[in-house]
C-alpha cells in the first residue's frame, strides 16, 4: 500500500439516522417516539424545531439514493425507526413501516450500494418510555423482539447490522444529563439504561444472525480521545476517569472485560449504586462475539482536575481556533490513537469508522456552489490519520462520513450542518457540497 492508497475492498460510505432525516413523523401507522415527544416539548431544542419533516427523506428516498449513486458511494448506513415497525413498542407489526425500509434497501441494492442497518439510533417508542424506558429491564426483551422482526424481514437483503448507535450518548444524555430524549435526570438511571442497551445488544446478535445468513453484526460506540490537561497526577487521573466514563464503560464489557473496576468504585460512591441491575450471565451475554466494531469519532477532550464538578470530569476543548461550528476541536491524531488502541489493546478484528465528519454552516454562493473547504480539510486530515493506522496493521475496513446530508442535529435543531450535501429546508433542494465532489474522487481512486 503506497501513497495514501486504501486497501482493496475498503468500503467508502456515508451515514444518517431515521429521526434526523425521515420526517413523516406520524404517517403510515408510525407510533410516537421519545424524540417526537421531546422535540414537541417547548424549550428542549435550541432553535425550537422538530424532526416532523426534517429532510423529508421518507418521501424523497429515491432521489436521495440517486444522489448517492452519483457520488459513487459503496455503502450507506441508515437506521430504522422502531416506532414505524412496532407502533406499540411490541406486538402488532406495522407492515407499511417495514415496506418503507424494504423499498429503500431494494433501491440501494439496485444502485450497487451496500446497506448498513443500525437498529437503534435513539428513537425509542414513547410507549416503552412510559413503561420505564431503558432503565426498565423489560426494554431488553422489547428490543430483541424488534430486532427479530426487522432482521426477519430484511435479513435476506441486508448483510451488515449494527445493533446500537452510541449507547453512551443514548443512556447518559437521555437519562443523566437530560439534554436528549427522554430528558430524564435521575441519579444512577443512566447506568441501568446503559446496562440494558448492552444486554439487549448481546441477546439480539444471535437472533439477527439466525435471520440473516452470513451477515456481519456489530455495535457502534462513540469514542473521544481524553487527554490530560497537564502532566500532573491529578489531571492524568481525571483524564483516565473521563476515559472510563465515555469509552471503557462500554468498550470493556463488549470485549469480555466486565465493567472497569475504577469506574465501578467511582459510580458506587457517586450514585450510591448497588449494581443490582446486573444479573447472572449478563457479562457473558454482553461479550457475545461480533464481526466488527463501529467507531464514531469526532474530537478530543482535554481534562483538568480543577474543572471537575460533582466528582465527574468536565471536558473542555483546548484551542479556541481549531474548532468546527459546533465547537468541537479538530484533532485527527485522536482518531489515529483510538484506532491503534482498539486493535493493539483490545484486538478488535475488524473496525469500521461508522461516523466522522464536521459541522460547518457554509451555504450556496451566488453560483449555487457550496464551497465547504473547511469540511474538506477536516475529512482529509482524518482520512490521513486512518490511513496511518492502517499502515500499522489496524484492520480498518471502511469509512462512513457523517453525514450524507444536513439534518436535524438533536438538541441543536437545524443550526448545525454536518452534511456533505446541502439541504434547503424550505424547498428540500439538495446540493452536493465541494466536500462531496472531492469525496467522490477519493472513492473513485480509493485513496487520497
Ligand atoms: O448527529 C450525530 C449522530 O446522530 C450521532 N453521532 C454524532 C453526530 C453528530 O453529533
Domains identified in the chain and CATH numbers: 11-445 (3.20.20.80)
Atom of ligand 1 nearest to the CA of 359: 9
Atom of ligand 1 nearest to the CA of 410: 1
Per-residue pLDDT for 403 more than 90?
yes
Helix (H) or strand (E) holding 286: helix 282-286
Q: What separation in Å is there between the alpha carbon of 2 and the centre of ligand 1?
A: 32
Whether residue 437 contacts residue 372, with contact meaning beta carbons closer than 8 Å, is answered with no
Model confidence over 412-423: pLDDT tens digits?
A: 999 999 999 999
Residue 6: Cβ-neighbour burial (10 angstroms; 0-12, 13-18, 19+): buried
Cα 378 to Cα 420: distance, rounded to the nearest angstrom: 12
Cα 444 to Cα 8: distance, rounded to the nearest angstrom: 12
Q: Is 329 a catalytic residue?
A: no
Atom of ligand 1 nearest to the CA of 165: 5
Model confidence over 44-89: pLDDT tens digits?
A: 999 999 999 999 999 999 999 999 999 999 999 999 999 999 999 9
> For position 1, what pLDDT does the model report?
44
Ligand 1 site: residues with CB under 6 angstroms?
17, 20, 166, 296, 355, 402, 409, 418
Catalytic residue of the set 32, 129, 166, 409:
166
Cα–Cα distances in angstroms (integers) from residue 352 to residues 155, 218, 294, 395, in the given order: 20, 10, 5, 9
Q: What separation in Å is there between the alpha carbon of 173 and the centre of ligand 1?
A: 12
- Grid cell at residue 160: 451488515
Q: What separation in Å is there between the alpha carbon of 409 and the centre of ligand 1?
A: 7
pTM recorded for the entire structure: 0.97
Ligand 1, atom 10, lies closest to the CA of: 409
Cα 174 to Cα 242: distance, rounded to the nearest angstrom: 18
Catalytic residue of the set 32, 129, 203, 355:
355
> For position 301, what pLDDT does the model report?
93
Q: What separation in Å is there between the alpha carbon of 232 and the centre of ligand 1?
A: 33
Model confidence over 286-308: pLDDT tens digits?
A: 999 999 999 999 999 999 998 77
Q: Which residue is associated with the grid cell 448497588?
A: 274
Per-residue pLDDT for 317 more than 90?
no
Q: Is 321 a catalytic residue?
A: no
The DSSP-derived string for 178-221 is -SSTT----TTHHHHHHHHHHHHHHHHHHHHHHHSTT-EEEEEE
Cα–Cα distances in angstroms (integers) from residue 46 to residues 50, 54, 185, 314, in the given order: 10, 15, 18, 22
For the chain, percent of residues with pLDDT exceeding 90: 94
- Per-residue pLDDT averaged across 108-114, rounded? 99
Rounded to 10 degrees, what is the CA torsion of 374, 49, 150, 94? Answer: -150
> For position 272, what pLDDT does the model report?
78
Model confidence over 246-288: pLDDT tens digits?
A: 999 999 999 999 999 999 999 998 887 889 999 999 999 999 9
Angle at 173 between CA 271 and CA 313, to 5 degrees: 55
Q: What separation in Å is there between the alpha carbon of 402 and the centre of ligand 1?
A: 8
Whether the bond between 70 and the residue before it is cis, its omega within 30 degrees of 0, is no
**345: CB partners within 8 A, 6+ apart:** none
> For position 318, what pLDDT does the model report?
63
Whether residue 221 contacts residue 255, with contact meaning beta carbons closer than 8 Å, is answered with no
Tell me how crowded residue 370 is: count the other CB atoms within 10 A of its CB: 22
Look at residues 112, 100, 216 and name the one whose alpha carbon lies nearest to residue 158. Answer: 216
**59: CB partners within 8 A, 6+ apart:** 23, 24
Sign of CA dihedral 64, 69, 72, 75: positive
Mean pLDDT value across the chain? 96
Cα 385 to Cα 333: distance, rounded to the nearest angstrom: 6
Sign of CA dihedral 403, 406, 408, 409: positive
Residue 281: Cβ-neighbour burial (10 angstroms; 0-12, 13-18, 19+): exposed
Q: How many residues does this entry show for the chain?
A: 448
Amino acid at each position: 500500500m503506497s501513497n495514501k492508497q486504501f486497501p482493496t475492498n475498503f468500503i467508502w460510505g456515508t451515514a444518517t439516522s431515521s429521526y434526523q432525516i425521515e420526517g413523516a413523523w406520524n404517517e403510515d401507522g408510525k407510533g410516537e417516539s421519545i424524540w417526537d415527544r421531546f422535540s414537541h416539548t417547548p424549550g428542549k431544542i435550541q432553535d425550537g424545531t422538530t424532526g416532523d419533516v426534517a429532510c423529508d427523506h421518507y418521501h424523497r428516498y429515491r432521489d436521495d439514493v440517486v444522489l448517492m449513486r452519483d457520488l459513487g458511494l459503496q455503502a450507506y448506513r441508515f437506521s430504522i425507526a422502531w416506532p414505524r415497525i412496532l407502533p406499540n413498542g411490541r406486538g402488532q407489526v406495522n407492515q407499511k413501516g417495514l415496506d418503507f425500509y424494504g423499498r429503500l434497501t431494494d433501491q440501494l441494492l439496485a444502485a450497487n450500494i451496500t446497506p448498513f442497518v443500525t437498529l437503534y439510533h435513539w428513537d425509542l417508542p414513547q410507549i416503552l418510555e412510559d413503561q420505564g424506558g431503558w432503565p426498565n429491564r423489560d426494554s431488553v426483551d422489547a428490543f430483541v423482539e424488534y430486532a427479530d422482526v426487522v432482521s426477519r424481514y430484511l435479513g435476506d437483503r441486508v448483510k451488515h447490522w449494527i445493533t446500537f448507535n452510541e449507547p453512551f450518548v443514548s443512556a447518559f444524555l437521555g437519562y443523566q444529563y437530560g439534554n436528549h430524549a427522554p430528558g430524564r435526570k435521575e441519579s444512577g438511571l443512566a447506568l441501568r439504561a446503559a446496562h440494558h442497551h448492552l444486554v439487549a445488544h448481546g441477546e439480539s446478535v444471535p437472533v439477527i444472525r439466525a435471520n440473516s445468513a452470513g451477515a456481519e453484526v456489530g455495535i457502534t460506540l462513540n469514542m473521544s480521545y481524553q487527554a490530560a490537561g497537564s502532566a500532573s497526577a491529578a489531571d492524568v487521573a481525571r483524564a483516565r476517569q473521563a476515559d472510563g466514563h465515555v469509552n471503557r464503560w462500554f468498550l470493556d464489557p463488549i470485549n469480555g472485560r466486565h465493567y472497569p473496576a475504577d469506574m465501578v468504585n467511582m459510580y458506587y460512591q457517586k450514585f450510591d449504586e448497588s449494581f443490582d441491575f446486573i444479573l447472572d450471565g449478563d457479562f457473558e451475554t454482553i461479550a457475545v462475539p461480533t464481526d466488527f466494531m463501529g467507531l464514531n469519532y469526532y474530537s478530543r477532550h482535554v481534562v483538568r482536575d480543577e474543572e471537575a464538578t460533582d466528582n465527574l470530569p468536565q471536558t473542555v476543548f483546548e484551542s479556541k481556533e481549531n474548532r468546527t461550528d459546533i465547537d468541537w476541536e479538530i484533532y485527527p491524531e485522536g482518531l489515529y490513537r483510538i484506532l491503534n488502541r482498539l486493535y493493539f489493546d483490545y484486538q478488535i478484528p475488524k473496525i469500521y469508522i461508522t461516523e466522522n465528519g464536521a459541522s460547518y454552516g457554509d451555504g450556496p454562493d451566488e453560483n449555487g456552489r457550496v464551497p465547504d473547504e473547511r469540511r474538506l480539510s477536516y475529512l482529509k486530515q482524518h482520512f490521513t490519520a486512518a490511513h496511518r493506522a492502517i499502515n500499522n496493521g489496524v484492520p480498518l475496513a471502511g469509512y462512513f462520513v457523517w453525514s450524507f446530508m444536513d439534518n436535524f442535529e438533536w438538541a441543536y435543531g437545524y443550526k448545525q450542518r454536518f452534511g456533505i450535501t446541502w439541504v434547503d429546508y424550505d424547498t428540500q433542494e439538495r446540493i452536493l457540497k465541494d466536500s462531496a465532489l472531492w469525496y467522490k474522487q477519493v472513492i473513485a481512486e480509493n485513496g487520497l
